[in-house]
Amino acid sequence: MAYILTGILTVLLYLSQVFKYMAYRLVNSFIFQLKNGLTMLLYNKISKLTAFVIRSEDVGKIINLLANDFAVLEQRGTYLLSTATFPILFIGNVILLVIKIGWPTLLGTIIILLTVILLTKYS
């Protein structure tokens, strides 16, 4: 029985690594395209401004602030990677624990998830 559980955990770990690699590539590509699209949208809007508006507003400051926001968006995009690959191992491990220990595993898992949700919401 231990060999079967070890084999299942190994397959789950392998699948999570494969999906993590694929998700990493897709997330980086998506975030890069999103950043470029938003930057092009910004420059198209600014290029249509009149000379009067450019003199009255600090356009360089606006561009700098938005460029920093786009950079933050690109950096935070990697968090999508962990949210995409986490459920594979979590669900697989919970299923294996339910098979091995029984239904009280579900109660413990629900309590842990509720604790995490409450801590992130109220801390």
Q: What is the pTM of this model?
A: 0.45
pLDDT-derived band at 102, boundaries 50, 70, 90: confident
Rounded Cα distance between 36 and 100, Å, is 49
Residue type, 90: F
Q: What is the pLDDT of residues 33-68, one digit of tens each?
A: 877 887 788 778 777 777 776 666 676 777 777 777
Q: Residue 74's pLDDT is what?
A: 72
Sign of CA dihedral 12, 15, 17, 23: negative
Rounded Cα distance between 109 and 117, Å, is 12
Residues 6+ apart with CB under 8 A from 50: none
Q: Residue 4's pLDDT is what?
A: 79
